[in-house]
Structure 1
Amino acid sequence: MQTDAHFSLADEGAGGTRLALSGPLVLASIAPIERALHSIHGPVTTIDLAEVSEFDTVGAWVVCQLARRHGAAIVGATPSAQRLLDAIEEIGSDSQRERHRLPLWEVVPGAVGQRIFAARAGVFGVIGFFGQILIGAARLVRHPGRFPIRALVHQMELVGVSALPIIGLMSFLIGIVIAQQGAVQLEQFGAEALTVNLVGRITLRELGVLMTAIMVAGRSGSAFAAQLGTMKLTEEIDAMRTIGISPIEVLVIPRIMAATFMMILLGFYASIVAIIGGAVVGEFALGIPFLTFLTRIQEVVPTYDLWVGLIKAPVFGLIVALAGCYHGLQVRGNSEEVGRRTTMAVVSAIFAVIVLDAFFAVFFTEVGWG
């Protein structure tokens, strides 16, 4: 029995050449003749497979590439070999790929429709997830002994206490920037003293809470999504359900409560540190003594500005925690999905926070807290 593949060339006349292949055209035996086949430069018009004893996908690929390069016809193939050749030809055919390429005016509406449908499914998923949280919270109210107090304290430490240095530094620098840039602009009108008003109102009312929420979304929201997504991949969440433990009660609710409560403290802390940063600029650049700056803050900033920031803070914390936990529990398939869902959690949380901040700005203006 022939164990190696061979080929021979025969002149068919009229400038044509017949290439006859013999032996097994399989992965183990085709390597010795593959380079020789590629080095054939003459016009091959026919490739004869009548003497081929075995045929696999590699052999079919080599024959199809050879036939395509020379424009040759393939003859003598057995029915099974012909099926392989047809499959390889269909995969490698440029015309086949072109046939499935839709025009732009069909691709764009189709893509938009898919996005809308996905958004619709996402809305239903978020509503269902929120319903699960309400049910889990009701169960904990009915059975207070099941409340995971240790998990809540641990998450409050991670979300709040561990974030104090980075949020403090960010807020301090934001206060410096607001005071310095505001003073430059107000100096044109001889109103540098109003820098105190600018720093106090914009930090307590808007930037202190908003920038803290964005920082918490990037820091804790992404952590929630990555942690829960990894637990979903390793089937830890399924194991918890199997032994009768609710993942919503043990994993989700403590994270949501920690982010909601700690955002109030972090937002207030960020506003105070930003005011201190502005006072530092006032001391060294504007000639306003440090303590005078802080005293003027109490005089020129209305009390409701503080309440506006404190009202927005827990809402922003709730949105960040919901986005992180929801996307973490939606992880399916592989580790790449963890990264994708983590990114979606951060982006959706920041987007929702900014939209809500705009809504709050309009609302509080309408109720006279503008």
Structure 2
Amino acid sequence: MDNAAVDAEQLEGGGGQRLRLSGPWRNTTVDTVIPKLLEMRETLSGHVEIDITGISSLDTSGAWIIRRIELAASKQGDVQIVGGSDAMRELISALPEQPPLPEKVVDHRPFFQRMLEPVGKMSVSLFEDVLAMSYVLGSAVRGTQSKERRGGRASIASIVNQLDHMGLRAVPIILLMSFLIGAIIAQQGAFQLRYFGAEVFVVDLVGILQLREIGVLLTAIMIAGRSGSAITAEIGSMKMREEVDALKVIGLNPIGVLVLPRIVALVIALPLLTVIANFAALYGAAVVSFAYSGITFQVFVTRLHDAVDYATFAAGLIKAPFMAVVIGIVAAVEGMKVGGSAESLGQHVTASVVKSIFVVILMDGLFAVFYAAINF
């Protein structure tokens, strides 16, 4: 190992200047000579010879510094590197003057074509998502075994475990949010109906709106944000650790093992949570109606009984299983798309929540149109 110190010496004479370098010019040693070289660089002019005869060893870091000195001196005059081995001189000369700048790409396509391109990409992406959702649904129905073996049923223990996570543990937040939503609707409705002397009709407003639309819609949105993101994160993390591939190797259907119990749990949990949300919202509306408009609890219940019927209750509850299936499938599709990085996981969790909420709202609108068409 060479223990000589790295050094640089500036000499005058012979019609120019000579910069004599010595010692081991390696990554671990060149930092000591950089301040001295910066001072010398300001005084280099005319013909300059950089003598590297005294350099005992050279790596890329040292060669890069010499190259930078050469480029700086070449702006003031002629520069020549002398001495040293051929390998050293080739290493120095092989380094670029500066990184190449990327060329500016000019899009010469017509404006109409450029405008349609993102629309086409979105259409293709939507079609691919529909195909992926169909694949996930079909694979989940097929069962837990691979196609070479007889299909198996989902584990009851897995379904119960998912019911605990998606249903039971979601009850507190569903109760709180629904109570507040019912109270807000009742307060705003009573405030507007007061001008017409019809505050008692706030019971009709809250009952029909909550049971047909708001109850199942807000519950599904909260489940999409809470359970949908969890499904994507769980499946995505397993995809990153190649656990999904391990299930395939041992002859199991990953969709049937991972997705089917979660979809079944969602189909069971979402209708039950919708019922809980409806009761909480109606209770919140009753409390606010009494405090804000003086409508007693007995009057509230009597008016609610006259305003709504079983069809109103069923109209909202029928939507819940369909929304649950969509939330589970979208979350599973996004989880299966996760790559090998944490950034990819975060992106697909976000996409899962956004897509699930969008599809839930779209489905609610389609149900509303369908109910109106059949007069339900």
TM-score, normalised with respect to structure 1: 0.84
* Deviation for aligned residue 1:65: 4.3
Counterpart of 1:306 in structure 2 is 313
* Deviation for aligned residue 1:176: 0.7
- Seen in structure 2, the aligned counterparts of structure 1 residues 179 and 132 have a Cα distance that, compared at 3 Å, is closer
**Structure-2 separation of matches of 1:105 and 1:55:** 48
> Which residue of 170, 177, 183 corresponds with 2:177?
170
- Seen in structure 2, the aligned counterparts of structure 1 residues 47 and 198 have a Cα distance that, compared at 3 Å, is farther
* Deviation for aligned residue 1:169: 0.7
**Structure-2 separation of matches of 1:270 and 1:67:** 76
State the secondary structure of the residue aligned to 1:76: strand
Counterpart of 1:31 in structure 2 is 31
Counterpart of 1:263 in structure 2 is 270
> Which residue of 120, 126, 131 corresponds with 1:127?
131
Structure that is richer in helix per residue: 1
* Deviation for aligned residue 1:277: 0.6
State the secondary structure of the residue aligned to 1:146: coil
Counterpart of 2:158 in structure 1 is 151
Greater CA deviation, 186-195 or 219-228? 186-195
Counterpart of 1:76 in structure 2 is 81
* Deviation for aligned residue 1:301: 2.6
State the secondary structure of the residue aligned to 1:355: helix
Query: How do 1:44-63 residues align onto structure 2 when only pairs under 5 Å count?
Result: 44-45=44-45, 46=48, 48=50, 50-51=52-53, 52=55, 54-63=57-66
Counterpart of 1:7 in structure 2 is 8
Amino acid at match of 1:32: T
Counterpart of 2:237 in structure 1 is 230
Greater CA deviation, 343-352 or 72-81? 72-81
**Structure-1 separation of matches of 2:255 and 2:21:** 66
**Structure-1 separation of matches of 2:114 and 2:353:** 27
- Seen in structure 2, the aligned counterparts of structure 1 residues 175 and 281 have a Cα distance that, compared at 3 Å, is same
**Structure-2 separation of matches of 1:221 and 1:12:** 78
Greater CA deviation, 53-62 or 192-201? 53-62
Task: Tell me if the contact between 2:142 and 2:151 (Cα under 8 Å) persists in the aligned partners.
Answer: no
Amino acid at match of 2:97: E
**Structure-1 separation of matches of 2:233 and 2:253:** 19
- Seen in structure 2, the aligned counterparts of structure 1 residues 256 and 28 have a Cα distance that, compared at 3 Å, is same
* Deviation for aligned residue 1:194: 1.7
Task: Tell me if the contact between 2:144 and 2:252 (Cα under 8 Å) persists in the aligned partners.
Answer: no
State the secondary structure of the residue aligned to 1:147: coil
- Bigger radius of gyration: 2
**Structure-1 separation of matches of 2:362 and 2:88:** 62
Flag structure 2 segments of 5+ consecutive residues without an equivalent.
none
* Deviation for aligned residue 1:133: 3.2
Amino acid at match of 1:179: A
Flag structure 1 segments of 5+ consecutive residues without an equivalent.
none
Task: Tell me if the contact between 1:209 and 1:309 (Cα under 8 Å) persists in the aligned partners.
Answer: yes
**Structure-1 separation of matches of 2:114 and 2:246:** 40
Identity of aligned residues (%): 35
Amino acid at match of 1:7: A
Greater CA deviation, 289-298 or 275-284? 289-298
Tell me the matched-pair count. Answer: 362
TM-score, normalised with respect to structure 2: 0.83
